[in-house]
Amino acid sequence: MAVLLVSDSTEYLVGHPRPTSEFAPLGRDSLLGREVLARRRRFPPTLLATFPAVGGTPTIVVGTAEHTGKSSAEWVLTLLHEHFHQWQSSLPDYYGRANALGLARGDTTGQWMLDYPFPYDSLPVQRAVKALARSLARGDSMETVARQRRALRRMLSPDDDRYLEFQLWQEGVPRYVEIAAAEAAARAGDPSEAFRRLPDYVPYADLADRLRHDLARQLKELCLARERRVAFYSLGAALALLLERSDGGWKARYQQDLFSLSP
C-alpha cells in the first residue's frame, strides 16, 4: 500500500517497494510500523488519486483530511478506495487487457480512461441511463435491473458499451468498497481512543448510513449530461450492492472477468 502523503511543504512516502533517490529516510513510525521517507513537495496538497507517481509503481497521492475537505473517517475510506485501485492494477495482465479493449484510439498515456468520447449528450442514452439509475434506486430485482441494462446497451455502440462496462468495474466498485468498509469498521467496534478524540470524528456506522443515503440520492438525481463519467461511479456502486445481495460468486468473477460488471 504505497502512499505519498502531501503536506504544505513536504511529501511523506510510506510502504513503497522501490523509493527513488530523492527521498530521504526519516526513521520508522511507531504507529504505522513502517519506514517513512520524505522529499520537498511536488504535488498539490489537495490531490487525491492513484497513479505511478514514484518509481513507476501505482502510488496513492493524497493530501491531509483538512486539505482534501474530508472528515478523518471519510479520509480513511477514501484511502481504501484508492488502495482498491492499486489492487485492481495488480490483477494479472491488467494493462494488457485494458489495451485489448480497443478504446485507446492511439493514446499511449492511459488518458483515454478519462477522456473517451462517450455519448454523454445523447438524449436516448441519457434516458436509458436514467431508467437504469431509477431501477437501482428503487431496489428492483436483478431481472429488472438486467432488463434496463440491456435497454441501455441497445443505445450504445460496442465500443461505448465496453467503455461503460470498464467504468462500472473500474470506478463503481471502489465506491461500493467505501460503503462496505464503513460497515465492516462499524461491526469491528470502536476505533482507537486517539481517533475518537479527533474534533471531526464520526462513527463508522453513522458514516455508512450516510453513504448509502447519498448513493440513493445520487441515483435519483443522476444527470449524465452534467456528471459525465462521474455518473458511472454511483451506477457501478449500486450494481455492486445488488450483486452483493443476490449473487454469491460475483467477487470471484470480478477478478477473472476484468472490466465487466454486468449482472
DSSP assignment letter at 256:
H
Q: Give 45's contacts (C-beta < 8 A, 6+ positions apart).
A: 6, 7, 8, 63, 64, 67
**Which residues lie closer than 8 Å to 96 by C-beta, 6 or more apart?**
none
Q: Read off the pLDDT of residues 79-134 as tens digits, 9 standing for 90 and up.
A: 999 999 999 999 999 999 999 999 999 998 889 999 999 999 999 999 999 999 99
Digit-coded pLDDT (tens) for 145-160? 999 999 999 999 999 9
- Per-residue pLDDT, 262: 78
Q: Are 177 and 183 in contact (CB under 8 A)?
A: no
Task: From first to last of the 263 residues of the chain, give the pLDDT tens digit.
Answer: 999 999 999 999 999 999 999 999 999 999 889 999 999 999 999 999 998 999 999 999 999 999 999 999 999 999 999 999 999 999 999 999 999 999 999 998 889 999 999 999 999 999 999 999 999 999 999 999 999 999 999 999 999 999 999 999 999 999 999 999 999 999 999 999 999 999 999 999 999 999 999 999 999 999 999 999 999 999 999 999 999 999 889 999 999 989 998 76
Q: How far is it between the farthest Cα atoms of the chain?
A: 58
pLDDT recorded at residue 263: 60
Rounded CA gap, 249 and 243, in Å?
A: 9
The one-letter amino acid code at 251 reads K
Q: Which three cell numbers stand for residue 234?
A: 454511483
Task: Spell out the residues 6+ positions from residue 41 whose beta carbon is closer than 8 angstroms to its own.
Answer: 6, 7, 8, 9, 10, 11
Q: Which three cell numbers stand for residue 231?
A: 455518473
Q: Report the predicted TM-score, pTM, of the whole model to 2 decimal places.
A: 0.91
